[in-house]
Amino acid sequence: MAKIQLNGKKITINSKSSIQDLLKRYNLINEKIAIELNGIIIPKIKFKKKYLKNNDKVEVVHFIGGG
């Protein structure tokens, strides 16, 4: 198990979880989001191989209405 921060909230994930696994858990579609891991943007092609570790900070963003 690993404890990470996802969009400011503490969550627990299985150890050896990739970003792609995390997205799957929250029903998020790759095309509609972008990810920042510890302040660095992660390209989508790396989602499957980028594993998360304890204390990682993940930000998942998408488009919302705005002017």
Partner 1 sequence: MKDIFRVANKKLKSRLIVGTGKYKNFRETAKAVEASGADMVTVAVRRVNILDKKKPILTDYLNPKKIIFLPNTAGCFNSSDALRTLRLAREMGGWKLVKLEVLGDKKTLYPNMIETIKSTKILTKEGFKVMVYCTDDPLLAKKLEDNGAAAIMPLASPIGSGLGLQNKVNISMIIKQSKVPVIVDAGIGTASDATVAMELGCDGVLINSAIAMAKKPILMAKAFRDAVTSGRNSYLAGRMQKNYIASPSSPTKGLI
Residue type at 41 in one-letter notation: I
From the CB of 53, what's the least distance to partner 1, in Å? Answer: 19
List phi, psi (to 5°) of 52. -95, 145
CB of 19 to partner 1, least distance (A): 13
Count other C-beta atoms under 10 Å from residue 35's C-beta: 22
Question: Measured in whole angstroms, how far is the alpha carbon of residue 11 from the centre of its chain?
Answer: 11
Distance of closest approach, residue 38 Cβ to partner 1, in angstroms: 13
CB nearer to partner 1: give 1 or 67. Answer: 67
Residues in touch with partner 1 (CB under 8 A): 6-9, 26-28, 31-36, 41, 43-44, 59-67
